[in-house]
A and B are shown apart, each in its own frame.
Chain A
């Protein structure tokens, strides 16, 4: 009851958009401020009850998106914000996704300052050198893909030159991923040896605020004859609370990474490869059981249009834990530690019909080493420029309770979203 009556508000915002295509539409002043956004209602529910979570639903969102931008000379101000009601957290909330000033200096320097969503790297839903914050709770709950990327307060400076382009992002205050807390989804705790949903929800210790605890991300990139090369560096923290303080409070371990990627056309499709090395700065020899070990991550993928409107993509991803022997030797729960080599295969099938009116997609994660999987079937229907409907599911499973996807088995859910775009 707390949720659905609000749906009645949706039609209030509607107005007729079926005016004929008169010439006036050309005359809109391109300096004029345009406000746009959407209203969205979303409901998701578990297939099965999670014994640790009272709420059966996984998603009860009413969301109002407002966005605009203003161009003044060479400066552009961007604004995107969401306001609404989250029935799972029983909370009215507002969140700014973008509030930025973007400016160009000289012929080849762009600066973007403020709260912004950022993405780089070549993976499709697999991340190596993209260490910008991600919201896995939204992703698993069935919100729009856009919400997988969480905003962060940052300064981005990009310098373009024919030899190499340089992207530098400074995030003064560490922005972790939105991680599993036990509020919406339970998660596996190696200490407890089973899934937990702590009350109050898990709140990991953030690093102290200081200049040195900021995040520094660097990308050097260049495209030569259609081949995209990039080098990456990052200095900050693991984005998930995989470390423990001496008093066994969850926290984020210091981490520095280096990486590289390539993306290029091969045959009828696009090939990508990416590599990254994660240095766990406070556990270089890998023998501290409270801190995550370093990693080597590798990704190779290929995507092509197998038939018109039918795209197929495969990725192979390897996550190797460095100093694995030391990890096992020092771990209080070696049976719950990751395999030395975690292999992950992904497949994306996308079929579009009726000139993109209908989109069917299935994204599959399968790990042969962890023996677990995650399926994301999604159907979207774009009824008009205003109305669209998306239905989908998040299905998790596997053999061992402690693996990444199997821990979410009781979170398996189906969802429906209805959006009115204005």
Chain B
């Protein structure tokens, strides 16, 4: 009973302490945000579904399972994305080897042709399976691809502006991120194009605590020029499931790892 109370007390002190501490180094804030958003646990799995709405309100759906494994925190990662809906993309599999020191390696498996297609490195800020999300939103953009500066720090958020180091490789000229001071999750991202227009917004609408990790469970990306949007929800999330490296190989493209794709029991 006493032990339990002291743990709660420690948690309380730690949490409030973290919130009270104000970081002043933009690179440190973005590094912690990157960890919070993409590196929770040593690995993880989630079911994901998206509703893609065009400007006329017509909807399309996607459903898939994502498996992720970290080789090191803030370092290289592997992703396996296995589609289950709609039926014309069922068993399509997307494999990413994310690297810090070079371009990511990415493969797409098309089951109808039994074809393992390699995706070129430049193709990362284009629509991910018809959604308003980009390929790069799925596996994360390297913090080292941008320079970061503070816009402001308020009671709730670190507000940072990011400028691409290679402006020709992206469609934005800058973006601004609202990072939750407590969880370090980016809660809102707004992109500005060369015309100076705000044209794209990503917003988090739900965060849940999963296995001790604050986790985004609902988000939306909006195309502010056309009015289209994609809503994304995450369910059946689990961290530290013990995914082996072998799951993230060509084997899983042709033969998705059923044991690891099953929803966790709880």
For B91, the chain A residues whose CB sits under 8 A away are: 69
Please give me the residue from chain B that is nearest to A110 by CB atom.
B255
Asked whether A355 lies within 8 Å of B61 as measured between CB atoms, the reply is no
A246 lies within 8 A of chain B by Cβ: no
On chain B, the residues within 8 Å of A34 by CB distance are 87, 90
Known: A74-B258, A355-B127. A25 touches B120 (CB 8 A): no
Chain B, residue nearest A226 (CB) = B105
Determine how close the nearest CB of chain A comes to the CB of B96; give it in whole angstroms: 11
| Contact, CB under 8 Å: A265 / B49 | no
**Chain B min CB distance to A398 (Å):** 28
A5 within 8 A of B: no
Out of A102, A108, A165, A385, which one reaches B61, CB within 8 Å?
A385
Residues of A within 8 A of B54 (CB): 354, 357
Binds A, one of B31-39, B137-145, B177-185, B244-252: B244-252
Question: Which residues of the other chain, B, contact A102 by a CB distance below 8 angstroms?
Answer: 255
Q: Contacts of B49 on A, CB cut-off 8 Å?
A: 21, 25-26
Question: How many whole Å from A39's CB to the nearest CB in chain B?
Answer: 12
Segment with Cβ contacts to A, from B66-74, B107-115, B147-155, B190-198? B107-115
Closest CB-CB distance, B88 to chain A, in whole Å?
5
A308 and B103 contact, CB distance less than 8 A: no
**Interfacial chain B residues near A108, Cβ < 8 Å:** 246
Q: 8 Å CB contacts to B: which residues of A94-142?
A: 102, 104, 107-108, 110, 112, 116-119
* A308 and B125 contacting across the interface, CB-CB below 8 Å: yes
**A129–B98 alpha-carbon span in the complex (Å):** 30
Chain B residues lying within 8 Å of A352, measured Cβ to Cβ, are 126-127
Residue pair B115, A119 in contact (C-beta under 8 Å): yes
Q: Known A110-B255, A355-B132; judge A268-B87 contact (CB<8 A).
A: no
Check A89 for interface membership: any CB of B closer than 8 A.
Answer: no
When chains A and B are docked, how far (Å) is the Cα of A382 from the Cα of B54? 13
Query: Which of B118, B119, B255, B263 is most buried by chain A, counting CB atoms within 10 A of its CB?
Result: B118
Tell me if A223 is interfacial: C-beta within 8 Å of chain B.
yes
Select from chain B the residue with minimum beta-carbon distance to A37: B87
Contact mask for chain A residues 349-375; partner B; CB cutoff 8 A; 1 contact, 0 none: 000101111000000000000000000
CB closest residue in chain B, given A263: B118
Answer yes or no: B4 CB below 8 A from chain A CBs: no
* Contact B88–A149 (Cβ < 8 Å): no
Q: Assess whether A270 is interfacial by the CB under 8 Å rule.
A: yes
- Taking a contact as CB atoms under 8 Å apart, the answer to whether A160 and B103 are in contact is no
- Evaluate contact between B113 and A384: CB separation under 8 angstroms: no
Give the residue of B60, B86, B120, B262 whose beta carbon is less than 8 angstroms from that of A303: B120
14 A-B pairs within 8 Å (CB atoms) are namely: A18-B59, A21-B51, A71-B258, A76-B258, A112-B255, A117-B114, A148-B113, A228-B118, A305-B120, A355-B130, A356-B127, A356-B129, A421-B86, A421-B87
Residues of B within 8 A of A (CB): 47, 49, 51-52, 54, 58-61, 63, 86-88, 90-91, 97, 99, 102-103, 105, 112-116, 118-123, 125-127, 129-132, 171, 228, 231, 235-236, 246, 249-251, 254-255, 258, 262-263
Given contacts A146-B113, A221-B250, 9 further A-B contacts (CB under 8 A): A38-B87, A119-B115, A149-B114, A160-B251, A269-B121, A311-B120, A382-B130, A384-B58, A385-B60
| Leading 10 A-B pairs by shortest Cβ distance | A36-B87, A305-B122, A146-B112, A355-B127, A305-B123, A268-B122, A385-B86, A226-B105, A119-B114, A269-B120
